Structure 1
Amino acid sequence: MRLTPIAAALVLAVSLTTAGQAETLISKSYQYFNIGGRTAGDLDRELSRHGPKASGTDMRHPGATRMKFSGTISYQQLRNGRCKVKSAEIKLHTKLILPRWTNRRRAEKDVVMIWDTLSRDIKRHEERHAEIARQYARKLEKSLVSMYPRRNCKDMEAAANAESDKILTKHDRAQVAFDRAESASFERRMTRMLQFKLDAMKN
């Protein structure tokens, strides 16, 4: 269930305007891919065949979250000649890629139960990736607008680029750490959720 996150890239446009202070623009979309099969083994094979590939590899996964960071920073020259970040607009778009099972109505009830449990966990996992990205988009915005002025706008731009790289590197590490933790607990988590469903059906 581990998914290597798509590497994030921030494009910073330089503008010597004085508009606004900071704004984070966040959007999210969903894309689905179909899988067939009627048994648990079929589902596993179908996800392995048709799931999205991780960036830079041929490995397929049951779901994915693609993230695109972009933004604009405006700089303001002060009376003493120094330069500061006047405004920062950070944009983030996340696209969640999730499976859709086409044979649900023709499958046995126990397989449907397994699928319902698995598909909910896949969606929860990808939604969490999107939330981590949102958190870091806001951190980036706040960090940029609170930077100390530099002696000129060229130095200010270089410092803002370095700060952006630092925060986006932390973002990528947080995504990888989340995947590792999820992968380590996947079997235990699925077993617990399936047992909960079985217990609910008995009552």
Structure 2
Amino acid sequence: MQPIGPTPHPPRPDLAFARCRSARRRRAAGWLAGLVIAAAGPAALAEVRHKAERTYYDVVGDSVEALRAQLQAQRPRGEDGGRYDAYTRWKLEWQYRFREQRDGCRRISLRTDLTTTIHLPRWQAPADAAPDLVRRWEAYVAALDRHERGHEALAIEAAEAVEQRVGAIGRAHDCKTLEAEVNAAGEAVVEDYKARQRAYDVETGHGRNEGVRFP
């Protein structure tokens, strides 16, 4: 069984800084590759916005060997350069607004957005396909899906953690410090969950311990 890859995330774009007393900052963090709702203050957190996507690549064949050959040829390439039967990409972004005041700088809103994309194989079984082959394929894809949902669940946890940790930062003595603290908190969460994604693959044998085997 070929391994299911870790969940990478895209590079972080540069920030554009507004020259005004009330400014907004946007930060995208990811490794795969992997976020405006106003908030009244650190205690008022907006719900994470999650956009879940699925894409499929088609394979054809009427035997285990033919399908495996198709998987090897068609499966997606991860950002580490490896190719995997299934793959989950996630992108996490946080956007916030702050306002300079006489006594310092206060964050006045926060929005966190998560996009996850699960890539899976799809086989349209021919009418004369052997029932045993169909059963094996369906079990395999179901196991793939469960494994990738595990990656997705970790990405959701990461988004919620960003919302909590960044949301807890409400004020600093100046806006440059507030911005640095907010982004450091968000990026620390991303690094933590990058490690958790890798650990998940190690613990599950890239899904093999969860039944991801074909043939």
> Where on the TM-score scale, by shorter chain, does this alignment land: which range?
0.7 to 0.9
Change beyond 3 A, Cα 1:171–1:139: same
| Corresponding residue number in structure 2 for 1:16 | 23
Bigger proportion of residues as helix: 1
Give unpaired runs (5+ residues) of structure 1: 193-203
CA-based RMSD: 2.5
| Corresponding residue number in structure 2 for 1:71 | 94
Give unpaired runs (5+ residues) of structure 2: 25-36
Q: After the TM superposition, which parts of structure 1 deviate over 4 Å for at least 4 consecutive aligned residues?
A: 8-15
Q: For residues 146-174 of structure 1, what are the alpha-carbon distances to aligned partners after superposition, in whole Å with 9 as ceiling and x for unaligned? A: 02632101111011111111111111111
| Corresponding residue number in structure 2 for 1:190 | 211
Structure 1 residue 103: Cα displacement: 3.0
Structure 1 residue 10: Cα displacement: 5.7
* Of 153, 157, 165, the match for 2:187: 165
| Corresponding residue number in structure 1 for 2:6 | 4
In 1, the alpha carbon distance for the partners of 2:52 and 2:154 equals 13
In 2, the alpha carbon distance for the partners of 1:108 and 1:72 equals 52
| Corresponding residue number in structure 2 for 1:36 | 60
Contact 2:4–2:87 at 8 Å: present in 1 too? no
Structure 1 residue 106: Cα displacement: 3.0
| Corresponding residue number in structure 2 for 1:89 | 111
* Of 58, 70, 73, the match for 1:46: 70
| Corresponding residue number in structure 2 for 1:137 | 159
Contact 1:83–1:152 at 8 Å: present in 2 too? yes
1:105 partner SS: coil
* Percent identity over paired residues: 23
| Corresponding residue number in structure 1 for 2:133 | 111
Q: How many residues align?
A: 189
| Corresponding residue number in structure 2 for 1:196 | none
Contact 1:65–1:96 at 8 Å: present in 2 too? yes
TM-score by length of 1: 0.82
TM-score by length of 2: 0.77
